[in-house]
Amino acid sequence: MAFLAGIDEAGYGPFVGPLSVGWSLFRVPHPGTDLWETLKDPVARKPNRKDPRLRVDDSKRVHSGPLGRQRLERAVAAFRRVAEPRRACLESWVASPPALDPRFCNRAPWFFNMEVPLCPGADDGRTRLDAAAIGRSLSHGGCTLASFGARAVPAVEWNGLLQSTGGKGEALWKVTLEVLKHILETTGDAPLRVELDRHGGRRRYARKLLADLGAAAVTSHGESSGGSAYSLEFEARVVEIRFGKDADSNHFPTALASLAAKQTRERMMDLFNDWFGGRIPGLRPTKGYATDGRRWLADTLDSLVGIGVDPGAVKRNR
C-alpha cells in the first residue's frame, strides 16, 4: 500500500478575495499507479460534448467557457461525495483540517454564513451516479480516495501572512506547508508521493523541506526550470515530493486538487459578491483579478467605511 497526493492553489494573484490551496490524497497499490488509467471509465482530461465522463484537468481549462462552472461543480461534487457521503456545504468543507481559522472571518461579514452548498449547480442524482462510478473504478483498481479538500485563506489572513513572512512566495509556502503536514499525518508510515505545481520561479526547496517538515535527511534528484524532485527520509519511511511545471495537467491528484481550490474560491467569491452587491447599489460582481479587480476597488472605495467594512479585510496588499 502507498499514497499519491496532489496540492495546488487558486487565487494567488487577485487584488481581492481569498487564496485557496486544494489537495487530494489516494491510497493506491503501489507508487507507480496511474490514476488516469484507473479512472478512465468515469473521468477524462478532455471529454468531447457527447462524452458523459467527468472532466478532471487543470482548473483553468475545466472552468473555461460558458459551461465551465457546471463542469467544475460536477467534478468536485462527485469526488467530494466519494470522500464524504453527506452532501457537502461550504462551511463543513473549509472547516475540515487543515481548517480555516474562524477568527479570520470576524472582519469579513460576507463569510459569516457559509452554510450554503459547496456545489449548488450540481444535480444530486447525477452526483450520486458519478460518485458510484468513481467508487467502482477505484475499487477495481485497488484504490481509495483518502482525503479531498481545500484550505481557504481570506484576504485579511493573507495580509497577515504577507507581513509575518515578508512576501507572497513565503506566504503561499506557509499555507502549502499546512496541507503537506496534514497529508503526512494522514498517511502514517506508508510510502507517499506528493506532486505540486512549482511555486512561481522557485527551483530549490530542499532546505525548506528539511527545516519545515522534520525529516532526518533530504536528497535532491534535480532542480531545474522543468521541476524539482526530492526524497525525504523519516524514521519509518521515505516520502517523495516533486514540484513540476504543469503538475496540475500531468498528475491526476494535482489536477483534482486544482479543482478543489478553484471551486472553494469561486464559492467564497459568490458570497463576497452577494454581500457587497446587496449593500452598494449597481455594483457589478468581480473575480478580483487584474483590471476588473482594480475596477471593483475603485467602485467601492468611497462606500466601504459607510457600510462598516475595514478596507484591510477586502484589499490584498500583494
Question: Buried (b) or exposed (e) across 77-95, using 16+ Cβ within 10 A?
Answer: bbbbbbbbeebbbbebbbe
Q: What's the confidence (pLDDT) of residue 87?
A: 76
Residue tagged 461550504 (cell numbers)? 90
Q: Could you give phi then psi for residue 208, rounded to 5 degrees? A: -65, -40
Q: What's the confidence (pLDDT) of residue 86?
A: 80
Q: What's the confidence (pLDDT) of residue 71?
A: 97
Cα–Cα distance for residue pair 136/108, rounded to 1 Å: 41
Q: For the segment 138-174, what is each residue's pLDDT rounded down to a tens digit?
A: 999 999 999 999 999 999 999 999 999 999 999 999 9
Are the C-beta atoms of 264 and 94 separated by less than 8 Å?
yes
Cα–Cα distance for residue pair 17/269, rounded to 1 Å: 6
Q: What's the confidence (pLDDT) of residue 201?
A: 80
Cα–Cα distance for residue pair 82/124, rounded to 1 Å: 13
Which parts of the chain register pLDDT below 70?
none
